[in-house]
Homo-oligomer: A and B are copies of this chain.
Amino acid sequence: MGAIEKIGRNGSLIGKRIPKKDAPEKASGKARYVHDINLPGQLHAKILRSAHVHAKIISIDTSAAKALRGVHAVITAKDVPYQRPIGVSKDHWPLKTDHVRSPRDEIAAVAADTEEIAEEALALIKVVYEPLPVVTSAEQALRPGAPLLHGEDLVWTGPDGRTEVLHPASKDNTAMVMEYAQGDMAQGEREADAVVEDVFSLHYVTHCCMGVSGVIAEFDASDNLLLYSNTQVPFLHKREFAEIIGVDPARIRIIQPPIGGGFGSKLDIYPFEPIVIFLARATRRPVKLVFTREEEFIASPTRQPVLMKLRSGCKRDGTLTFRRVETLHDNGAYTSWGATTPFVMMQTVSSLYRVPNCDYKTRAIYSNNPYAGSFRGYGNLQATFAVEAHMDRLAEAIGMDPLEFRLKNAHDAGETTPQGMHFKSCGMKECLTAAAERGDYQRKHTENRRRWKDSSPIKRGVGMASMLHVGGGAKIYPSDGCGTILKMDDFAQVTLLTGASEIGQGSETVLAQLVCEELGLPMSAVTVVNNDTDITPWDVGVHASRTTFIAGNSAIGAARKAKEKILAAASGRFGVPADTLELRDGCVIDKTTGKKLIQIDKLIRSLHFSDKAELVMTSYYYEPPSKHQDDKYRGDVSAAYAWGTQVAEVEVDTQTGIVRLLKIACAHDVGRVLNRLGIEGQVEGGIVMGQGYALTENLIVENGVIRNPNFRDYKLVTAPEIPEMDVTFIETMDGEGPQGAKGVGEAPAICVAAAVGNAIYNATGVRITALPFTPENVYRALHSNSQPVVWPEL
């Protein structure tokens, strides 16, 4: 009886190729996404968005819409006086009051019997606008006399009539500023034998989750709110939703159906979510809203455009002496997590390589463009693109091999950077060496340069880039921990209640694997429950590549307590010390002889059904030993750091500007490989995402309007374009990591664009500082039809 007898296993699961636990459901079409969930009595919602990019709302007439048969509610801001603004800076009303700042802006919403009726009702809503001048870029937003996007205090009036300024007026369209400095910049400039300076331009992309955004909200008869939500941070959102809609957070339950992709886009709350809740409250019915694909392009977050001025210097011997950074982030109309990506960029600027002197200033600026969210890498793709271009530029300036130059400045384990990051494990140099070797970097790099003047229009190039990213969580919130509850049934089936969410990254599988490893059980013996805030213990959410590390340590903690209990029972039963016993292959075994003493399920039943009558139920909370950074951004923000190097090989058709990515050879310091299949998937998926960022993806925004909100005009990388990948894992066995592992979720996407940029230069001798490397952009750059990116005089 029990899975144990039927599915034995031999030896350790660590490093093995374990299929994802949710793969059969997803591959067979059985998985039930929010799209597939329909509740009895459910209504369908649609949102009316602004007809103007920037305007005052003069009046809204919903009477005709309300009169339509099948319509249950039509709401505007006036109907939800209790609504509070959302987002990082609380500058954003879910339903706009009198000012719209982008075409996505939500003016009214309808709940009706069908989507079709709701759509029909939207057309009956009459809105009178007074158009305002449009601010189309950060640069324009900063010009004197530019229209102010948030020129007035955002004032909230409570139910008691008390008013509160939740977002103060921005007098110059600045949304957020971050400044950081280390060392002595003057000294750094003085010591430099070579100095390079460029302005880099990064473009708009968006997440393109295969599962579009959607939510179902329902109040029960006791006014408890149930949300079916794709959020990545359910526990934080309980509190945030509570504030936005004015309810007790204890009364909110969030269930996460399988999520059709997240990549950071589901880290924040967007207006459609409170709007659906308002409709559910108004109608006392479950209300569902699922975006169309076009709506997903228009109203889900973006990775925002950044202008980045970078100046770097080094000595003749290759020692970096300084780095100076200034950025302008186009924040879009409202502030979401995108505005805080400079926090991560700063780490790459200060700590990817040893650089004693550093100055960093960044501003996020309001415009009428789409607003910027969190996106896998969280600013690091942008920062790495610029920093790694300069690593090549400096190496060339001093005539040093780029690999040698990087090795010269690379960190070792045990170092603490001026910003305070302590690298307890660090495989940077191994990554550099391995990726270079697997990509045949040095030989090709040298040879390709020799062919710059060849007559062939087809050029080849190799480029290298490295990355640093948090790999042991990031202590942003007061806690970066994760709770686990574990129970075993009479058949030794383990239920793991983890705070960690599965958003497709494979956390469910790796957590089960870590538990199986402790308990000597096969993968089928663990059921992971990870999608219901009423049931699972707290976790800060899926971000910062933290789940394997944090939730993994938490799961191990709970499993070890279970193991102790099982071994104690076996010890009592067999009259031998517990420390002579081990769990393996579903059995308690004698460590010395390897002899199987009893099946675990039998032992558990005997524990349960004896006079002692015990069940195996344990819990564990893991909080990493990381620290909040201080007000100068100094501190060891993560419990571990991930490293990686990627070598891209490209073919550039100089007659068409077409860049083909032929190969990525990469080496990633992942601490330790837990699930080889899973980590390969993460790395390969990340590389393809980085490839899209580098070569094909481009959200075209003109005068605040997205011009390509569909998959015909927004070019995702497709299967034929995917390069050969040669992936090496550097296993540095991090002392704090679960079984030695570090986080790797974001890492593989980070340096593709940087490596490709360096490869294009290696192929053509032309340094292109503006992304994306679309044929048109590359052609123009190669044929001098494009202007270099310039820093605006402001």
**Contacts A485-B485, A535-B535 given; does A491 touch B248 at CB 8 Å:** yes
Q: Give the complex CA separation of A220 and B489 in angstroms.
A: 20
Q: Which of A26-34, A115-123, A311-319, A503-511 contacts B (4 or more CB under 8 A)?
A: A26-34
**Would you give the 0/1 interface string for A468-500, flagging 1 where the beta carbon is closer than 8 Å to chain B?**
000000000011010101010111110101000
A792 within 8 A of B: no
Are A617 and B28 touching (Cβ within 8 A)?
no
Are B248 and A489 touching (Cβ within 8 A)?
no
Are B481 and A613 touching (Cβ within 8 A)?
yes
A249 within 8 A of B: yes
A15 within 8 A of B: no
Partner of A250, one of B3, B249, B253: B3
Q: Give the complex CA separation of A529 and B495 in angstroms.
A: 15
**Nearest B residue to A617 by beta-carbon distance?**
B619
* Residues in B neighbouring A222, C-beta threshold 8 A: 21, 24-25, 524
Are A615 and B538 touching (Cβ within 8 A)?
yes
A17 within 8 A of B: no
Nearest-Cβ distance from residue A736 to partner chain B, whole angstroms: 15
Are B483 and A617 touching (Cβ within 8 A)?
yes
A153 within 8 A of B: no
Copies in the complex: 2
**Contacts A535-B495, A537-B615 given; does A220 touch B3 at CB 8 Å:** no
A1 within 8 A of B: yes
**Would you give the 0/1 interface string for A1-45, flagging 1 where the beta carbon is closer than 8 Å to chain B?**
111001000000000000001001101101010001000100000
Q: Give the complex CA separation of A239 and B251 in angstroms.
A: 35
Nearest-Cβ distance from residue A266 to partner chain B, whole angstroms: 21
* Residues in B neighbouring A97, C-beta threshold 8 A: none
Q: Give the complex CA separation of A163 and B621 in angstroms.
A: 51
A401 within 8 A of B: no
Within A501-558, which residues are at the interface with B (CB < 8 Å)? 524-525, 527, 529, 533-535, 537-538
A574 within 8 A of B: no
Nearest-Cβ distance from residue A175 to partner chain B, whole angstroms: 28
Partner of A621, one of B21, B248, B617: B617
**Contacts A250-B525, A619-B618 given; does A487 touch B495 at CB 8 Å:** no
Are B621 and A249 touching (Cβ within 8 A)?
no
A440 within 8 A of B: no
**Nearest B residue to A533 by beta-carbon distance?**
B489
Are B608 and A614 touching (Cβ within 8 A)?
no
A609 within 8 A of B: yes
**Contacts A24-B221, A30-B221, A619-B617 given; does A2 touch B248 at CB 8 Å:** yes
**Contacts A538-B608, A617-B485, A623-B613 given; does A32 touch B25 at CB 8 Å:** no
For chain A, the count of residues having a C-beta within 8 Å of the partner chain is 57
* Residues in B neighbouring A529, C-beta threshold 8 A: 534-535
Nearest-Cβ distance from residue A612 to partner chain B, whole angstroms: 8
Nearest-Cβ distance from residue A115 to partner chain B, whole angstroms: 17
Are B25 and A36 touching (Cβ within 8 A)?
no
Q: Give the complex CA separation of A428 and B21 in angstroms.
A: 57
Q: Give the complex CA separation of A83 and B624 in angstroms.
A: 51
* Residues in B neighbouring A32, C-beta threshold 8 A: 40
Q: Give the complex CA separation of A784 and B790 in angstroms.
A: 114
* Residues in B neighbouring A524, C-beta threshold 8 A: 222, 250-251
Are B534 and A491 touching (Cβ within 8 A)?
no
Are A492 and B250 touching (Cβ within 8 A)?
yes
Are A221 and B608 touching (Cβ within 8 A)?
no
Are B249 and A497 touching (Cβ within 8 A)?
no
**Contacts A251-B3, A489-B538, A535-B497 given; does A615 touch B621 at CB 8 Å:** yes
Nearest-Cβ distance from residue A244 to partner chain B, whole angstroms: 14
* Residues in B neighbouring A221, C-beta threshold 8 A: 24-25, 27-28, 30
Nearest-Cβ distance from residue A2 to partner chain B, whole angstroms: 5
Are A248 and B3 touching (Cβ within 8 A)?
yes
**Contacts A40-B32, A529-B535, A538-B490 given; does A220 touch B1 at CB 8 Å:** no
* Residues in B neighbouring A21, C-beta threshold 8 A: 222
17 intermolecular pairs with C-beta atoms under 8 Å apart: A1-B242, A1-B249, A3-B248, A6-B248, A239-B490, A249-B490, A249-B491, A250-B489, A250-B493, A251-B524, A478-B609, A481-B608, A485-B487, A485-B619, A497-B535, A529-B534, A619-B619
Q: Spell out A's residues near B (CB within 8 Å).
A: 1-3, 6, 21, 24-25, 27-28, 30, 32, 36, 40, 220-222, 235, 238-239, 242, 248-251, 253, 478-479, 481, 483, 485, 487, 489-493, 495, 497, 524-525, 527, 529, 533-535, 537-538, 608-609, 613-615, 617-619, 621, 623
Seed contacts A485-B485, A617-B619; 12 additional CB < 8 Å A-B pairs: A1-B249, A24-B221, A30-B220, A36-B40, A235-B490, A249-B491, A250-B493, A250-B525, A479-B609, A483-B617, A490-B538, A535-B535
